[in-house]
Structures are given as C-alpha cells and as structure tokens.
Structure 1
C-alpha cells in the first residue's frame, strides 16, 4: 500500500495503522512526517479540498491524482453551471437579447426607413464564423445564450487550470485562446460583462493577437476626416470619410500624425473590371466592403497630394471607454465581408453604425435618407452635438494657389514685368513647387499661414432640392414641378463645396402645360420634361494651381426639339453626352486663401448621342462646341451664360422636306439669388436658333427649396 493510500485511509476511516508495517522506516523520516514542513509536500485529503485550493503534486500516485483532478473539475463545472443559470436569469429579466446594443453588435438593423429598409429579423452578416450559435443570424437570443455558455466554459477552464498547476496544460490552453469566444468577440464580451456584472478576472484568457493589435493602435481618441468631392475619380465624386485613430502622442500633439492610424471602409473592387462594370457592381452590391487600417500619414497623403483635395477633420465627442469599445468591435468585424453599396452601405454609413453601437439611445444611421452622403453625415453629427472640434488641412494645390494669388496680387500692384510667366508656371507646377501640408518625410503636419477656404461641408446647403416654376415656351404657359436627390450645380450657393463644383444626380422635372388643344403641334398637358441619372462637369482652370483636366458627362432622358422636320416639336429622348475642354478662372480671389478667382469661363468639345421614338429616324448624333462663363456677382447672386453649337446627324432621308443633318445653336442664361441657406430664386432663359422649331424661346422663374 502506498503512502497516499495510507493517508487517505486515515483521513477517511479514522483508524490507526499498525506501526509494525513501518518499523523499517527510520525514525528521522517518521519525525519528518509529523513536522509542518512535511505537510507542504504531502497531498491534501480529498474530503478537505474546496474550490480554489486544489493543487496536484507530481510526487503523488496516478490514481489518486486523477481522482482529485476529476473531483476538482466536477466542482468547477458545478460552480460554472450555477453562474450560467444566474446569468441567464439576469439576461432574461433585462431582456438583453433584444437590447439595442446587443442587436447592433450582431449587425441587426433597427433603422426606421420603412418599406425599403433592411430586414430587422436577420443580421446583415452572412458568415457562420461571426456567430457562436448556428441560429445566431436569425436569433439574437440564441447568440446571447451561446456567449454566456462560452463565459461559463472559460471560467471552468480557468478554475481547473489554476488547480492543476500544470505548465504543459496552461501552455496548451494559451495556444488555443486565439479561437476563444472572448478573443474573437471582445466588444460583445466587454458589454455583456459590464451589463451582467461578470468579473472577467475570473476568466484568465490571454489574447496575444488582440493585445498586440490594440497596443499597436493605442486608441485614445477618434476623429472623422472628410476629404472633399473629387470628380476626376468617380469613386470619390461624393467625397470620402474615414476615422482617424489617435494615440496619446497624437492627442497631445495633433501634428504628430505618424502616431495615428486611419480606419477606412471602402469597396473591395476588381481592378480588372472596366469602368462601367466597376461602377455597376459598386452600386448594386457586386463587390464586398474592405476595412483598411493604415498609418494615417499614408492615407492623408493620398488626398492632399495625389487627389488635391482639402481635408476637414472633426474630433468626435466620445469617451475613452466608447473609443475602446468601437475599436474592439472593429476587431470583431474587420474580416467580415459585407456587400458594398456605393450609396447606402459605404464609408460614411459605417462611421454612423460604429457610433450607434456605443450610443444605443441614438439612431444616427436611420435618420438619413436611403442614400448616405459623407457631407450629410458631417452635418448630422454636428446637429447631434458629436463634433467637438474642427481642423482644416489644405491640399498641396490649395497652398500653391495661395502662393499664386499672392504673386498675382503683387504683380497687379507693382507691374507685370516683376513677375515673369516662367515664375508663375513654377509656382503652379507640383513637380517644381513641393509646398505641402505634410513634412517631407510625411510624418508631421505643418502649419502654413493661410486663411481657411470656404469649403467646410458644415456650411453647405442641403443636398436634396425641390422646385416649382412658372414659365412660357413659345405661346404656351406652364408650371414646372421638380425634385433633385443631389447634389449641386454651378448656380447653387457655393459655400461648403469645392469651387465650381457641378454634379447632379437622380433628378426629375414634370411640366404642366396650359394648352389649347385646337392648335397644331400643341404639347400634352402633363409631360416628363427631364430625368437625370447623372450629370456633371469638372473644372480645373489651366491658369490655376490645379493639375486636372476640364471635362463633363451626362446620362439623362430629356425633351429636345427635332430640327430635321418642318415645324418640329419636342420629343423625349435618351441622351448620353461627353465633353472635354479647357477652363480659365479670373477675378480677385478671397484674400489670404488658396481659393481660385471666383469667375470662370470654359470651352468644351462635345459629343452627344440621343435616341427616341419621336425624332427623325429614331436617333441622332451630334458634335460641336459648348462655351460659357459663370460670374459670381456677390455672395448671394450668380449668373451663367452658355452657347451650344451642336451639329446633328440623323442619317440620309428620302423626304424632300426632311433634313438628315443640320446646325442647332442654343443660347441659355441662368441667374440665381439666394434668399437664405435653404431657399433661392432662379431665372432660366433658353433660345434655339433654328427656323424649323415651333417654339424657340423658353423663359422660367422658379422657387427652389433645399431640404
């Protein structure tokens, strides 16, 4: 019989052991067994073992060791089951499965957009690894219970590991922690622990990958960076937003951007796809989203230097705990692939979603319309009091323009001969003039003495607009009713937008005529006058510091006058157009800023293809010149005049009175007066220089409301 068995019998039966069996033991050993020191090396009787006190001795025999370990595991499992029962009761009482925060952590939607909103009963994430429960995607309660079970399992493992005191077992447990629920879902863990009062220290789970990631980012503060609209890259036409993650060092000195990181949600597109296919997939969810976390200087340089876009940075009014929880949630979701929708699930919507996760009382994402536009997000966060401070960072071209403005001002004062053309070209050149808001090593923001440009998106008009107008076309009076989902044209108030910005999308106008049906060629009483899918122009004046080109494009259905036939009337056609040309800025820019002069003239070489049932041969193609000027009279009044000289071709015709090709010049004038930020009056006048047109002139006065 072993010593272990003997001691167990003493402890269990209370019977004396015949001393003759141990007569051979030296008296010294017998004395040693009676000392307090000996008891440190001897096993504690199983009947005296309590939770947290079990320690296995490698010198004990295998049978007793396994028995003690099994009993310890049973005790640990019993305690874990009791805790699990308590947690389940608390979760049920508090209805945590339906708590807004819990549902948002699982990507369940709580938007209030009605018919076209997302399904509130199914998580947006279609990835089994994002859930512990096989029913987690459809059942937030099942996922909550699975998380609580994971807590109990980890607590039992921790207790057993502590009792075992086995280095090999501990190492194995640590190696498997990377797949632990607590390591995979730290944001869920933190929220549940705080809500249910669970002591996480009782679950000694180490997450080396998560720990290293958090130490690398060292998140202390979050800011939203807004890079203004950039038409030369269609993906950035509506601007871009990302989160700046600041560490203690960059919080203390915001210019030390090498201590900050950029969290960017973008489209994971296939660069092999052509432009049209790429655009369609980006709009329809054909690509997944991609979460990028890069050093902040690298990302900022893309906007300031490559794209020449001013940047506005807004510090978010979030507590350190909220910042940490957002970053932990990013860890949970950074590898989750979700469909990317250019207008609804994009860089801007993700920022609102992350804030909603830590602010359950707010419903930021559901407050916006179906299309989530970056500038709308900036204004919404400002309305909700979530923007703590604002910082302006001018693009490199803006700084070069500021230098150019200063030189031209000196030239006007001292004479042209003091500023030769070569000197101006050197200032405009990005290669020769390396002035930048970033240091040469790209690690630090530099402070240039330049006035802030009027491009802050907080100051812009609302992107949606409705209008009602009264007008006359030929001898017929009419009323126009129209709406525009976005964005901005050159006659709209320019505050908050890049200079000369011109982009319209998803717009429709209906015209109601007061007609006399007894007359020939009278229009119908109600007509669709225009349906714009997308229309815009990018102006980069050749005499400015901008290095881009001047071009334009349009996709729309519009009413046109067919000049091929005698007494031709208007017809609705599908129209596709492209323009490429030059523009020039002139006038006196705002003092001390990097703004271009406020006046603009332009010339385009244009090509257009149109098709419709009403026009001759059902189609026409045209080429010509479009030239015009825009004039900023004052802060509230702007005017624009344009002359279009298209030459149209319908194809050969056998009709004696039908022309297969012809010129059809059109002159137009627009004038807008801003009543305030939300209201304006506009006058439009058009005249078609074509003798075969039944109604050559069209004059309209409209009231415009931005909302």
Structure 2
C-alpha cells in the first residue's frame, strides 16, 4: 500500500510541471499574439484610417496633429490617447488581451467597454477570436436585446425661438424596434446629444457654449416624452427621416453608441453640437458617409437634415408629425359654422346636451369636432395649474364617453404648405446692392452667418419670425468715397405671433449690437445699442396672408457722439407683413423712439420693403424709407449659401 502511494506521488510530481506550464503558457502566447497584431497594425498604419478617427472622434487641429472631442479619460486606453491615435490603437489592442481575472472590481472588461473598436480591429487584423479572452458582456448583450433595433430615424423638431438652445431647431435619433408601427413607435427609444447646462445666466451660457466649457453627453429616452415635450407642450412640428441602413451598419452604430453613452465630450454651441455629433454617430455605422465633412465652421440642425439628402438613397422616407396646436388650428379651419359653435360651446364649459347645434351633426362631423376639443383640452392641461386640471379632466371625461360611441379615429388634417427644413433656404447670406439718400448715391454690402429675417423665403422655417446673429452691413458713398458701417447686429430676434382668443399669443423682439446713428446728422457715428419690445399681432381682416403687429419698445445706447455718452428711450414699432405668394412678400413699417434720458432726442422711421425670391436661395429686396428728415431708396440682391 505504501508502495502504491509512493508511485502515485511520483506520478503526480511528474505531471505537476506540465499542469503549471499549461496554465501559464496561454497568457504568454496571448501577449505574443497581441504584439504581433500591434506590429501588423503598425505596418498598415491603422491609426491613420478614417474609421479609427471616427470611432475616437479625432478632429484635425488648426496647425498640426489631432485632438479628440471626448474629454473623459475612461474613453481611452492610453494616457495620451486623446491626442495620439497611434498610441491609443496599440494600447487598445493590448487591453483586449487583458485576462478576465485581472479586470478591476466593479469595471467592465475592455472588450465590453469598446465593442465597436473590437469589431473593427478584428475585421481589419483578422484576429483569431480563440486567442482572445472571453469575458461575459452581459450588460451590453442585455442592452442590445432590449432595444431590438431594425431601423434608425433622424427626427427634427422645429424652431423654438423662446429658448436660446432650440431656436435653430433640434435633431435626435430614434431607434425603431422590429415591432414598431404607426401606433407603437411612441414606445421606441430616442438618442440625443446635449450640453449639461450648469448656469441659467444667458451671458455665461453664450460664453461657455462658444468656447466648449460645457460637458456634452449622449442620452436615451422614450420617444413619447419628446413628442409630449416638443409637439404638445412647446407646439413644435416634428419631421421624421427614416434612414436606409443595413443591419450590419445599425449594429455598428449601436456598438459605438454604447462606447460613448457614458463619457463626456466638449460641447461647442456652433459646431460640435447636438446636430454634429449625431452625424458622427451615423458615420460610425456607415463610414462611407460624408456628413461631418460638410461642416467645418458651424453646424445648424436644418443644414444637417439637408446633408442627409447629399447621400444617395440615405433617406428612405419622410414623415411629418404636426404639433398639437398645428392639428388644432387645421381642424378649426375645416369646421363648418355648426361645428364651430359646438366647439366654442365646449370650450366655454357647456355640456353637449346644452349645445343645440350638436345633435344634427353627422357622426363624422361629431367625431372631428370632439377630437379637436380633446386636443384643446390636452393643450390646456399642459399649461394650467393643478387646481384647474380637475375641472378640465371632468369635462373631458364626459366628452370622451360621447366620443367612444362614434366612428373610429378621424383622419388628421395635414397643412398643404407643410415643408420640411431641407426645403428651406441655406443659413448664410451675402448681399450686394445700391441706393441713394440725401447724401447721394451709395453701394452696399452685407454678410450674415445666420439665419433668416422677416422677409426671407419662409418655407422650412417659422413663419413671421426673425433669427439673426452677427449680421453686418456697410456702405460706400459715391461722392466722398467714405465707407460707413450701417450696423453689426450681434443678436436680432423677432417673433410675430398672431393673437388667438383660444390660446393667446404675444409678439416680441430683442436685439443688441452696433449701428450707425442716422438721427444726429452724423454720417459715420456709431453706437452700441440694446433694445427689446413686446406687443400683439393679429391677422388682417382685409387680406388673407397679412399680419398686423404693434409693439411697445425700449432702447438704450452708448456712443461718443452723445453729450453724456448714453441715452435711454421708449417708443413703438408697428407694421404689416403681407405674404402675396411664396415669391413675393411685403413689409410696411413705422417706428418711433423718444430718448428722454441722457442725450435727449427723437428718432423715427417709416417705409416699405418688398422681397421677390427667384428661388429659395436668391432674392431681390427693394426698400423705400424715410429716416427722420432723410429719404432713402435701395435695391439689393441676396444669395443664401
């Protein structure tokens, strides 16, 4: 027996080194294999590949080298990965071979953190999967399975001039499930990119946004939340662009979304913003797309929608989702007199039994009228106090009971002139012109990077609104040869919203910048001004397509020309905007200011402007005006680009 034990121990001792060698040979072999892959990547200079730069969000610096937009260290495997594509690629390769047992507690294995990089490098270097460690990426697998995406849709929410962050519109992606349909897409998830705002100060907000001092982050959210926010609460129309991406491309996009979903970017208001990063995300799915290359200085959401159409067959389908107020307005326009009386009666709080015009209506007209009222109730609930909601809900419940006994869903009206942002003019504008006033003839030049004015071709934009940034114009007088700054508007925002008894509506304007003083007899005197106004507008009863407006305005200015260096005043700004057709638009205007504090003076201007658009990107503008005692006529040709 002792002899048998001795023989067993000898056999075990002889076999032990083999076990040890087998246990420790695999990591060594893996390290050798990783180094061979790094050598192969070096030979092929994979770090210069466009797709590697897409995955790492590298952008060329102004002078030399590159820099990644991602400002989060956990996005990189190399300490210098943000600036060095070569070191990051080599470090990433080695990280993929980290033994699973050596993964730090509470952290995911690099293969689980960077699946898009693993997928691409495996394909480019023909990596033998059996040589790689095999971690369990349960969170990633569960996330992909729960999304179950088979289509990607880009969504554009129209302009919201009341918010600086949304006045140019907003874009995000929707991840459509295989089970999605017309009624189920609200349950799909959206993907957005936005700045983490840590201040409500508008000056700080502008400063930090311009210089990339906000953190930018990706987020996912149920699509119905955005429909509620944009379409119902903020009355913004939405456009959905279903994209033609293969299953493989969708998978690549999702894997990269996983990589960037929890890291911080540097958010820049003008370029690397919500619209730009979504285009970069699309390129991670299909690197053959050339979307971000189209934006070198500024990225505007409307222009990114247009960029989709520069790629052949990328947009498979476009769907218009009118806002709650758009649907309500169209429904009211389609009502006959009896329906209108029923609708007004319900709005005033009457029961259906107390409205004699209701019973004679056809079932279809009853359904359409009740649907319109329920839309109005939904609009009211989002804007009312909690104590007011109880009465609204009770009134709606009685209407819902009546509605349940009528025919099914009525067809939602769609405006005949609904045009998406891709059908609007481009955002930059340059203009050349000439004119004459009491000082003689002059030539005029102007340039602005954004966006549209009250006379612009409005298809694809908010009607009767003006969003202008950094708009500069100058003129040269023929007699003196002197160049004069007309104005340089840093910001000039105008919203002319016709008042509606149903849901109100105010009009307003705000602006600041530099302008030439025309009221003091000085040809080349400039001031810095700040003005704002508030008032009302109504649709003109004498002409369909005309809007009349009147605002009370306040103005403050500082200039060397003033005896005291400043002046403050108030006055009025009124006019009529007439849309004769898509090509023709007229503005008749008059405004006056009484500067009663500081440099006391009066200032007034009245006249007419006429715009003729040859197409969406070219226009002529004729203006005739009187500014104090100076008569002026001018004609200009403008081009959007």
State TM-score, norm by structure 2: 0.85
The alpha-carbon deviation at position 704 of structure 1 amounts to 0.8
In the TM superposition, 1:13-412 aligns within 5 A as 67-110=17-60, 117=62, 120-154=65-99, 178-200=107-129, 203-250=133-180, 253-271=181-199, 273-385=200-312, 386-407=314-335, 410-411=336-337
* Shift in alpha-carbon separation, 1:586–1:424, aligned structure 2, 3 A: farther
- In structure 1, stretches of 5+ residues that fail to align are 11-60, 111-115, 158-171, 517-523, 590-596, 652-659
1:419 Cα deviation from its structure 2 partner: 7.6
Residue 467 of structure 2 is aligned to residue 503 of structure 1: yes
Identify unmatched segments of 5+ residues in structure 2: 350-368, 383-395, 397-408
1:562 corresponds to 2:519:
yes
| Paired residues of 1:400 and 1:545 also in contact (CA < 8 A) | no
Matches within 5 A, 1:684-699: 684-688=623-627, 690=628, 693=629, 696-699=630-633
1:600 to partner: Cα distance? 1.1
C-alpha spacing 1:181/1:454, structure 2 compared with 1 (3 Å):
same
Residues of 2 paired with 1:2 and 1:585: CA distance?
111
- Equivalent of 2:555 in 598, 608, 614: 608
Partner residue in 2 for 1:39: none
Query: Would you say 1:6 and 2:37 are equivalent positions?
Result: no
Superimposed CA distance per residue, residues 288-320 of structure 1 (whole angstroms, 9 cap, x where no aligned partner): 113221111112211001110000010122222
* Structure 1 counterpart SS, 2:144: helix
Q: Who is 2:357 aligned against? A: none
Tell me which residue corresponds to 1:494: 458
Counterpart for residue 425 of structure 2? 461
Q: Tell me the distance in 1 between the aligned counterparts of 2:330 and 2:287.
A: 45
Q: Which has the larger radius of gyration?
A: 1
Q: Deviations for 1:560-609, whole angstroms, at most 9, x for unmatched residues?
A: 2234xxx55562111111011111124699xxxxxxx6321111010011
Tell me what 1:537 maps to: 494
Whose strand proportion is higher, 1 or 2?
A: 2
User: In 2 relative to 1, CA 75–105 (structure 1 residues): closer, same or farther, beyond 3 Å?
Assistant: same
Q: CA deviation at 1:211?
A: 2.0
The Cα shift of 1:480 comes to 0.2
> Are 2:607 and 1:663 equivalent residues in the alignment?
no
- Identify if the C-alpha distance between structure 1 residues 216 and 375 changes in structure 2 by more than 3 Å, giving closer, same or farther: same
Deviation at 1:225, TM superposition (A): 0.4
Measured on the aligned residues, the alpha-carbon RMSD in Å equals 3.1
Residues 571 and 584 (structure 1), Cα distance of their counterparts in 2 relative to 1, 3 Å cut: same
Report the Cα distance in structure 2 between the residues aligned to 1:123 and 1:420, rounded to whole angstroms. 57
Which whole-Å CA distance do the structure 1 matches of 2:347 and 2:622 have between them? 39
Q: In the superposition, relative to structure 1, how do residues 98 and 425 fare at CA in structure 2: closer, same or farther (>3 Å)?
A: farther
Q: Take 1:560 and 1:4, find their aligned partners in 2: how far apart are those partners? A: 110
Provide the rounded CA distance (Å) in 2 between the counterparts of 1:188 and 1:447.
Answer: 47
CA contact (8 A) 2:343 2:373 kept: no
**Change beyond 3 A, Cα 1:149–1:662:** closer
Q: Following the alignment from structure 1 to structure 2, what is the Cα–Cα distance between the partners of residues 245 and 417?
A: 40
Contact 1:562 1:615 in 2 (8 A): no
TM-score (norm 1): 0.77
Q: What is the alpha-carbon distance in structure 2 between the residues aligned to residue 131 and residue 397 of structure 1?
A: 47
